[in-house]
Structure 1
């Protein structure tokens, strides 16, 4: 059976891709995200509160919701990468890549011999992909993060490493690396984002970026990026609560007295 990875297929045809970001542990929330029609849902093991035993059922939840689950590994470590691969992730994002050697090491963790060092044991991946053929099982998106000054200095060397599929920009770390604060709108950040996009595209790689909201993501997609994350769950939850607090508005003392009689409990 020949496996087609929907992310790789979308990037190959030039279709724009949007996704969600899960930092809070729990398979049900991941399943809900998987039902929303996103192109991917990422389980964040770097900054999210998610270990391997939680990431696995979260990927199951995303699949149950009809979604495509990917993972951001905690670091560029073969064990961390291979764990996500064997759990059936369609792609793995590797943070803090700074040199071509870092990028090559990440690629080796994705590929079985003779092309890499991945150990064969695709426990869930074989069912997600529908094959035990190593060449099919390794059709997973290798996505590296460019987010440091060192990476910018060696950008062309990094994106030229064979076996990479995409670059994911971490704007907060990149801003810090450029002497700015996370959330900056400084032109220097945009200049370096443009530099990353240009270099990656020249080497046939898709480029994505992390954003907190759909309107910001749309702006980057319109600039020529190929994919964007449109929310992170913890931030989205806090924002939604604040929206409801604002909707209630000021509560006067008189209104509070009138509301003293408890309402009927919700059936939910």
Structure 2
């Protein structure tokens, strides 16, 4: 199923978060129980070549591929879609102009300004009819604008109103820095939870998709109750740390 199909079914979608620019690592992530895999170009090590190569094993595992582009790299959003991504996350969308530029890069005319070049994406998904592909992609490929500052929160309704913006992705770490005026980084900060809830509910009220990065998995149920349905969990380093610790704990507990 596509990411749109999963989210339209109103079910929670848990995506892995990949920062290691190696298709073998991405392949291993896609083989786990996660619902999707996100390749991170902003803070992770992914680059254009690793996005091109990394999307293939995700799609081969029949899972949605998501890409987070660097700040302001809206042209990379189009390339990620051409490589076969289901969705693109754009960080630091703080103005309506940012949202409009992002949406334009994600959607074909007349909605946006995305140019034609879907050879990789069509081949990877087994499509051979360009006209049919063109007619479906504006709806199927999701543009998720990140809200992680007070400036973005203040114009949330305006961002949501931009044609071609399909949802909001909350970055709670940066949001906590903004919320405390630079005094703290605490993605689980209780004082900002009402704002995170407000973002989720207002996003869903416009029939768009609410997504969030989850630092503490125990908060997942709370976020889901706020309307968030796409939840990003951890990184490769965290998966390896937790997995290694679990294995070592079990091994050491067996030693008598």
State whether TM-score is above 0.5: yes
For 1:140 and 1:76, how far apart are their aligned partners in 2? 19
Give the secondary-structure state (helix, strand or coil) at the position aligned to 2:72: coil
Corresponding residue number in structure 1 for 2:194:
191
Please tell me whether the aligned partners of residues 37 and 67 of structure 1 are also in contact (alpha carbons under 8 angstroms).
no
Q: Is the 8 A contact 2:14 2:230 kept in 1?
A: yes
User: 1:49-198 maps to which residues of 2 (within 5 A)?
Assistant: 49-129=45-125, 130=127, 131-133=129-131, 134-138=134-138, 139-179=140-180, 180-198=183-201
| Contact 1:23-1:44 at 8 Å conserved across structures | yes
**Contact 1:42/1:70 (CA < 8 Å) preserved in 2?**
yes
Q: Which structure: larger Rg?
A: 1
Partner of 2:230: 227
Q: Contact conserved, 2:16 with 2:34, CA < 8 A, in 1?
A: yes
1:10 aligns with 2:6: yes
Tell me the C-alpha RMSD between the 2 structures: 2.3
Q: Tell me which residue corresponds to 2:220.
A: 217
Q: Secondary structure at the match of 1:164?
A: coil
How far off its partner does 1:33 sit? 1.6
Equivalent pair of 2:111/2:163 in contact (CA under 8 Å): no
Q: For the structure 1 residues 181 and 237, does the alpha-carbon distance in structure 2 shift closer, same or farther, using more than 3 Å as the test?
A: farther
Question: Structure 1: any 5+ residue segments left out of the alignment?
Answer: 250-268
Other-structure match for 1:257? none
Q: Which moved more, 1:234-243 or 1:41-50?
A: 234-243
Partner Cα distance (1:217, 1:11) in 2: 16
CA contact (8 A) 1:40 1:67 kept: yes
Q: Which runs of 5+ in 2 are unaligned?
A: none
SS at match of 1:120: coil
User: How far off its partner does 1:120 sit?
Assistant: 0.8
**What TM-score, normalized to structure 2?**
0.87
The answer as to whether partners of 1:122 and 1:137 remain within 8 angstroms in 2 is: no
Give the total of aligned pairs. Answer: 247
CA distance, structure 2, for counterparts of residue 137 and residue 184 of structure 1 = 34
Secondary structure of the corresponding residue to residue 184 of structure 2 = coil
Partner Cα separation in structure 2 for residue 66 and residue 76 of structure 1:
30
- The answer as to whether partners of 1:175 and 1:184 remain within 8 angstroms in 2 is yes
CA shift, 1:153, in A, is 1.3
Deviations 1:125-144 (A, max 9, x none): 12234242322244311111
What is the SS of the residue equivalent to 2:119? coil
Quote the Cα distance in structure 1 between the aligned partners of 2:52 and 2:240. Answer: 23
